[in-house]
Amino acid sequence: MTPFSLTARSSAKTAAVAMFSLLAACAAPVAEEVQFPEVVTPEIQAQITPDQVFTIAVLPDTQNYLDYTHQKAEGFPFEASELFLEQMRYVADNLESEGGDIAFVTTLGDVWQHQTKAMDPAHEARGFKAVANPILSAHLAPSDKTLTVEMPKAHEGFSLIAGKTPFSVVPGNHDYDAMWTDSKFPPEATTPAEIDMTDMARSLGVLHPGGLDNFRSVFGADTEFFKGKPWYVASHDGGADSAQVFEAGGYRFLHIGLQFDPPNDSLAWAASVIADYSGLPTIISTHDYMSKEGERVPNVIVDGHAVDPIHNTPEMVWDKLISQNEQVFLVLCGHQHGQAWRVDENAAGQKVWQILADYQDRGQTAIEAGVKSDWPVGIGDGWMRLMEFDFTDEAPRMTVRTYSTHYKKSSRETSDYADWYKAGEKPLLSDEAFHDEDDYVLELVDFRTRFDAVAEVAN
């Protein structure tokens, strides 16, 4: 069980034992010794009550763990990839199939850090041009070590949960084969001192990703992770977009993973999948969707639509897909460093909760290891999201917690949490308000009226 699990299973078990005791006592003659089960088997419990509490594990941007420059072989003081494997082992140990409460696992893109090409052939054929970027190219130059270090480690990590649970992996901009500074938006800054923090696109230029062969080789629809799995119900663009179905909390859910700044054909595909699974509560995971201020705006230095209009901005994704489909009740995203959430009404007047989490900039582990750098060194520090859904009451609740598998504490339990991270993420908040950004409860007020008729699993 995860540290935040409610005791629904044990409570159901206790209630079941009491019920059998009462029934046995009422039915048995007084002179006989009453016999009733001391242990409620899973089969008996399933007949009494569905499991009404479950957790979705959310793994935001893991790129800095897998970055080949953050490993001992490159002179880094520790293996950052071990923090990634710690996360995956924690998730694996707490899956429902292993006796825990994690029913589904989703990622939010940027699994690894580097690319392998200067530009992909498709964009070259369309006439796109790259320009030099004195600042970013030093950190993001293509490398064969993406193929020999970063991607194999990603495969190793997800192999720990493969075959044990439904899960989704979506591509972020770093997971594409190439990412270049586009000639339409050249950078003006040549040194860090010249960066204007109020106009990052002008200072650093605008990056653009292209090509998904690397991603498909690890997480494509035909890979061992997904091919033939009954819960992997649909895919598009070789698995860059994908759909999963899982049962938890007495309901059947649909999850859709969308590629970075999804183009119109991805949105049309997603709408068709939603129609195919009509009535199911639907969760969408995608990489770039919301800023830490809670606005549906792109990251200005990786604005897919600005460089290539076939891509949709976050607001366009809302307008074209999310707001138009009544089944979508939850959107999860990463990419933009920090955390935020918002709730809006869709075109039918129903609630859609949208949640950002991205901890890639957090580098307390690097500081503790004595890393010296002119730039802050982001690692991630083991932080991930555990989203617990509780359907025991009339109005279901979603409890959002942030947990570090490295520090083995929740954000609320970490006394230095605000000291470590607030200045870089939400500097204007009080310490308590900053804690509230990563530890809160949302009441899913219209969930049952929307989904009980179709998605509730019969007992």
CB 333 within 8 Å of CB 288: yes
Which residue stretches of the chain have pLDDT < 50? 1-38, 40, 44-48
CB 282 within 8 Å of CB 274: yes
CA distances (Å), origin 212, targets 158, 305, 348, 360: 18, 18, 35, 22
Amino acid at 62: T
Amino acid at 161: I
3-class DSSP state for residue 96?
A: helix
Taking the C-alpha atoms of residue 4 and residue 300, their distance in angstroms, rounded to an integer, is 36
| pLDDT for 196 | 93
DSSP class of 311: B
Tokens of 163: 């075959």
Distance separating the N- and C-terminal Cα atoms of the chain = 24
| pLDDT for 459 | 53
| pLDDT for 47 | 45
CB neighbours (10 Å) of residue 46? 13
CB neighbours (10 Å) of residue 35? 9
Share of the chain above pLDDT 90, in %: 84
Those residues with Cβ within 8 angstroms of residue 453's Cβ, 6 or more apart along the chain or in another chain: 279
Tokens of 284: 């969408």
Taking the C-alpha atoms of residue 164 and residue 88, their distance in angstroms, rounded to an integer, is 12
Tokens of 138: 């030093």
Amino acid at 400: V
Taking the C-alpha atoms of residue 157 and residue 380, their distance in angstroms, rounded to an integer, is 16
Rg value, the chain, Cα:
23
Which of 112, 58, 66 is closest to 85 using CA atoms? 66
3-class DSSP state for residue 269?
A: helix
| pLDDT for 11 | 39
CB 98 within 8 Å of CB 55: no
The residue ranges of DSSP E strands in 130-250, in sequence order, are 130-131, 167-168, 178-182, 207-210, 232-236, 241-248
User: DSSP string spanning 436-457?
Assistant: HHTSEEEE-TTHHHHHHHHHBP
Taking the C-alpha atoms of residue 289 and residue 293, their distance in angstroms, rounded to an integer, is 12
Which residues, in sequence order, are bridge partners of residue 341? 355
Amino acid at 388: E
Largest CA distance in the chain: 92
CB neighbours (10 Å) of residue 137? 15
